[in-house]
A and B are shown apart, each in its own frame.
Chain A
Amino acid sequence: MNSVDISVSDVGPFAQRLAAAGGVRSLAANAFAEVGLPGTKDEAFHYTSLRSLNRLKFIADSVVPSDAELESLIDNALPSDGSLASATRIVFVNGIFSEKFSTVSGLSAVSFTHGTQEEQHSVADNDLPLVLLNRALGCSTAELEVPEGTDAGTIVILSLNFGNATEGDEAPSFHPHLHVRVGKGASVTLAEMIIGKGVYLNNPVSVINVAKEASVTHTKLQRESADAFHLATVSPVIAERGTYNSFTLGFGAQLSRHEVHAYLEGAGSAVHINGAQLLVDRQVGDITSVITHAAPNCISRQTVRNVLADRARGVFQGKVFVERIAQKTDGYQMNQALLLSETAEMNAKPELEIYADDVKCSHGATVGALDDDQLFYLCSRGIPDAEARRILVEAFLIEAVGLVEVDDVRAALEGALSAALVERIGATTMGDGSLS
């Protein structure tokens, strides 16, 4: 089957690109065309409408800035204290691997390949629509392999996305694919950073295989353009006694969705799907997870904090699925939201589906405004109201960021958070009185 049937209206914004997806990609293109973009009638997208994508026609062509401009943008994207400057770097520009800006020569402890997505075009029944879209239209795949017993340190994965300056009829769409295999007993920290300008869709897919006793820390700093769409899917599969410890920190995009499908495959494995987001104006940010406990004695942890100002809306969906075999499951889930205006909104949907009989699973959710007692306490010490509010917002989010255990990566996220707060909530940044 080499032609693509694009009659389904839900693929409208992608029709042109899907029709051009020839060869092996046509399989995924056809599969996507069959299911179309999820609508709010799909339970998984009940709170997050993708309708706004229909205003656009997505195209393959995009404009890449000059090398000099890219270089300075990369410098700005990294922490200003230079802490991650020497880390191995994999750079994508508009969804395509950039050999020029990557420092893959430093990947001595790991093997790295990149190419088109030809080799991973196969389609399974349960593939998610947004993953199919990635496969149908994707143009660059990065494959990382961390050999058995190796500590690969920190690898920075930097994505720079450039769309149209103004929202017209057409916008580019990017569909990068990252596949990481971490060998038995190996460890690696993946520090993903995303920045962008203009109108575009970024639709990244990551698959992370964590072998027996391996350990992966995966952080994501999402600073897409305010006009962009960000629809990401991350699928970690964790073997016996392996750990996958993740954190996503989101500020960007008019519409973002960070969707994690974690599969605890081996006994005694652990997964942490933590995150925080700070949204203003009319931003919509969706953090969705499905954690499947498919083996006994596994641990899952989720702590998500949302700060929502103006007319922003946060969505949290967290499903913990415990199979019959997964006895002694230990699951914890907590979603908290701070609403800074009367018009901000949080939609939270925790879900537990348990088929084992000896498990410990808890979930909770809180939604509230800033605490008047805390505000008054700060102001009574001479701190102006606006700065007091910013301090409390920062405190709320920084507690979540504190879950990241890798020091320099956590510091990078903290720095990005402080900068975003000054930009979005105002007032000068708090003095550094640290006593270290």
Chain B
Amino acid sequence: MSNFLKISGLHAKIEADGGDKEILRGVDLEIPAGELHVIMGPNGCGKSTLAYTLAGREDYEVTAGSVSFKGQDLLAMEPDERAAAGVFLAFQSPVELPGVNNANFLRTAVNSVRRARGEAEMDAVQFLKTVRAATKSLSMQDEMLKRNVNVGFSGGEKKRNEVLQMTLLQPSLAILDETDSGLDVDALRIVADGVNKLRAPDFSALVITHHQRLLDYLSPDRIHVMAKGRIIRSGGPELARQIDQDGYATFLADAA
């Protein structure tokens, strides 16, 4: 399937300080099925905006362009429909939900997408079995399931909880927004393992990162450099190593 994810001329703006601020200024990007692509770029270039826009955050208004995902118009779908269709966003700053039990939250999410995908819902016993297997593979304590979602979690625990959600929801497109930031080497490896376990011919990932470090564990297919709301350069894995050594300056100068 060559048209797995196709982003064409995507423009998006956000309301800020009483005016509109255009953040995405014509993003073109294609990710074939089964590939892992990486977006790197300086702060403020629009990486997170792209991630949020793909997941369906309302604050970002798409003014031009299109996104087709497995032949569907992704931009016409509600956030929950996108999740059911297979899009998963691992948040840069996972949101705390006081009063919402993590296990209940996970099961509600899993059964919501299963229902939408026409699959049978999991009962409490099935779910427990599935979730325990997942937590074990992520070196997570079961105790984290009893707590409220992300409340009082350390930075690393929050990121691991994101990977747990990703594992349980079985997406076909995972978008990881700086999931590696603030992680020690062990946690980094766990996150990478979580992604690698999902890798399959019908699974693709878009990894947003600042660091080569995570990529050492992920073996990406393509690297894209983003600046000022556009993809300005694409290449193989060597591009990431080049950025790690020299920074973005040369790319930005080339693009100017």
Contact = CB atoms under 8 A, between A and B. Distances in A.
Contacts of B89: 380
Interface size class of A (residues with CB under 8 A): 20 to 34
Given A380-B56, A382-B80, A382-B84, A433 B104 contact: yes
A382 B98 contact: no
B99 A394 contact: yes
A399 B151 CA distance: 13
Contacts of A379: 56, 78-80, 83
A384 B112 contact: yes
Interface string B94-105: 110111110111
A381 B56 CA distance: 11
A431 B97 contact: no
A398 interface: yes
Nearest to B166: A381
A384 B124 contact: no
Contact of A382 (B58, B94, B116, B148): B116
Interface string A14-58: 000000000000000000000000000000000000000000000
Interface string B143-169: 001101000000000000000010001
Given A376-B57, A432-B104, A395 B98 contact: yes
A387 B128 CA distance: 22
B99, B113, B146 — which one has the most chain A CB atoms within 10 A of its CB?
Answer: B99
Contacts of B101: 433-434
Given A377-B95, A382-B169, A435 B83 contact: no
Contacts of B219: none
A85 interface: no
Chain A interface main SS type: helix
A392 B104 CA distance: 13
Interface string B116-137: 1000010010011001000000
B91 interface: yes
Interface string B44-57: 00000000000111
B111 interface: yes
Contact of B97 (A377, A384, A433): A377
B196 interface: no
B104 A430 contact: yes
Contacts of A378: 97, 105, 109
A405 interface: no
Interface string A205-219: 000000000000000
B73 interface: no
A14 to B, nearest CB: 42
A377 B128 contact: no
Contacts of B103: 433-435
A8 interface: no
Nearest to A396: B99
A431 B104 contact: yes
Contacts of A398: 99
B99 A431 contact: no
A373 B57 CA distance: 9
A142 interface: no
B95 A374 contact: yes
Given A433-B107, A433-B128, A383 B112 contact: yes
B3 interface: no
A433 B112 contact: no
A267 B160 CA distance: 49
Given A382-B83, A395-B98, A431 B124 contact: yes
A385 interface: yes
A379, A381, A396 — which one has the most chain B CB atoms within 10 A of its CB?
Answer: A381
B188 to A, nearest CB: 23
Contacts of A381: 80, 83, 105, 109, 112-113, 165, 169
Contacts of B56: 376, 379-380
A191 interface: no
Nearest to A432: B124
B63 interface: no
B124 A399 contact: no
Given A379-B56, A381-B109, A435 B146 contact: yes
A404 interface: no
B217 to A, nearest CB: 25
Nearest to B102: A433
Given A374-B97, A396-B99, A433-B101, A385 B78 contact: yes
Interface in B55-80: 55-59, 78-80
A434 B104 contact: yes
Interface of A: 372-374, 376-385, 387-388, 391-392, 394-399, 430-435
27 contacts: A372-B58, A372-B59, A374-B95, A374-B97, A376-B58, A377-B97, A379-B80, A380-B55, A380-B83, A380-B89, A381-B109, A381-B112, A381-B113, A382-B80, A382-B169, A383-B109, A384-B78, A387-B112, A395-B98, A395-B99, A398-B99, A430-B104, A431-B104, A431-B124, A433-B108, A434-B104, A435-B103
Question: Nearest 9 A-B pairs (CB), nearest first?
Answer: A395-B99, A382-B83, A433-B107, A382-B113, A381-B109, A433-B103, A377-B95, A379-B79, A399-B99
